[in-house]
Amino acid sequence: MDLVPAIFNSLAAIIVIFMTLPIILALPMMLVIPIGLFIVYRQISTQREIRVELLETKAGIDGTIVELLNGIEVIRISDSVELEKQRFADKSYYLRKKEMKHHYQMAKYDILKFINEAVFTVLMIGISVYLATINVISVGNVLTAYLCFAQLIKPLEELHRIFDELAECVVLSEDFFNMLELPCDFSYLPSQPQDLTKIAKPLISVDDISFSYDDGTKVLDGISFTVDEGKFIGIVGPSGCGKSTLSILICNLENSHDKAKIGHWPISRLSRHDLAAMIALVPQNPFLIAGTIRDNICYGLAQKVDDAEILAAAKKAFLSSFIAELPDGLDTVIAEGGGNLSGGQRQRIAIARIFLRTPKILILDEATSALDNTAEKYIQREIEKLIKEHNLTVLSIAHRLTTLENCDEIIVFDDGKIVQRAKYHELIESKGIFSDMYHGRIK
């Protein structure tokens, strides 16, 4: 809306100038346009880098604020307020210095644009008056020249502003276009719906799967195993040995390249809808939304459930007494990320979800690490009942080895490889990593 009128006004002024004024006066007047555009070009090209840097620095300060809010308890207990104030002051000073440099440069180019217009205004008046005194043009042409030049300058100023704003918008929009260029999530690529009622044996099969992260760190190295339906499988090993990475691959959150299967289907060829119906993952740090306890327990459910079903699931997750003590019960509002709950309460809400879903495969990734012994044993019994009632298959990743005592089999990882497979008591009695972990010789 601003650009088109400015261009047409400029063109109209140029046409009138060449139609009514001699070429000796019209040509010098036109020089104001290329010089003005050159100044704008220099302004845009020299300020682009600093605009990008300012954008990134402001985003960094926003991130610092979020970081400080998330760590407020640690800051208070460590009495590191002065340290954080200084860190924030240093970042603010850096941003302020960059802003001042940017505004100084912008002011310099604005001055150059003003000088360009002022010089050519004086030059045009001087030439036209001189031509009138020697009778080349009339006195009326002097007024015409001034009015036409003024009509040329005004849209030119508008074009300067538009081009500068456009350059700033391009910088801001580059992040958006970069996001559009990101590859699509492979797990959401179109796939054929499958008949999940007919699943071949074994239920889960992993065949010589290896995995490395982008930095080249190899996490899994030639892992192979199978799990039959209805089995309770424990997965243990030292920290960083690849246990959680395996769960991520089975959930198709990373590409297994058709080496992980459910039945006869490669996991990477199943749709997210099919996987959500078959697999439930309870991570160590569960995802909670800013909403009611009811909203969080029912999060991700495809079907509607009533409060009686929700309370039944909460009871199995050892949440009943906690909910009963709340004045609003299931309508109690949870803060973002469950900030007003303990770690154990967050985990129990996430566990309550599985009793409403009853998937075919349940993956517990340190899902009870924040629970006390009483709550953990209670929930463990309920999960074992669920296995029997619904022929559920469970993969339980745990550091607390006692939670795996009733497993059908335990798979022991070390350095990205499977090093032991046996039952709980067999592993304790045999030499190896499991026995060392059980007796506290390794963590």
At 442 the pLDDT is: 66
Residue 311: its pLDDT value, please?
Answer: 92
The answer to whether 317 touches 349, Cβ cutoff 8 Å, is yes
Length of the chain: 443
**What is the predicted pLDDT for the residue at 338?**
79
Please list the rounded mean pLDDT of every run of 10 residues in the chain (443 residues).
Answer: 79 82 81 86 83 82 82 82 87 88 87 87 85 83 82 80 82 82 79 72 90 83 90 89 88 88 86 86 86 89 87 90 88 83 88 88 87 86 87 88 88 90 90 85 64
Residue 443, pLDDT score = 57
Query: Do 347 and 371 contact (CB within 8 A), yes or no?
Result: yes
Q: Which residue has the tokens 């400015």?
A: 6
**Prior bond to 266 cis, omega within 30?**
no
- This prediction has a pTM of 0.71
The CA distances from residue 20 to 9, 12, 15, 27, 131, in Å, are: 16, 12, 9, 13, 14
Q: Name the CATH topology of 204-438.
A: Rossmann fold (3.40.50)
Using CA atoms, how far apart are residues 133 and 142, in angstroms rounded to an integer?
Answer: 10
Sort residue 361 into left (φ over 0), alpha (ψ -120 to 50) or beta. beta
Q: Tokens representing 8?
A: 């047409």
Comparing 3-180 with 204-438, is the CATH topology the same? no
Query: How far from 42 is each of 45, 101, 106, 120, 172, CA to CA, in Å?
Result: 5, 16, 11, 20, 19
Query: CA geometry: angle at 234 spanning 230 and 237, to 5°?
Result: 160
Which residue ranges make up each domain of the chain?
3-180, 204-438
Superfamily of domain 3-180: ABC transporter type 1, transmembrane domain (1.20.1560.10)
Q: CA–CA separation, 116 vs 321, rounded Å?
A: 78
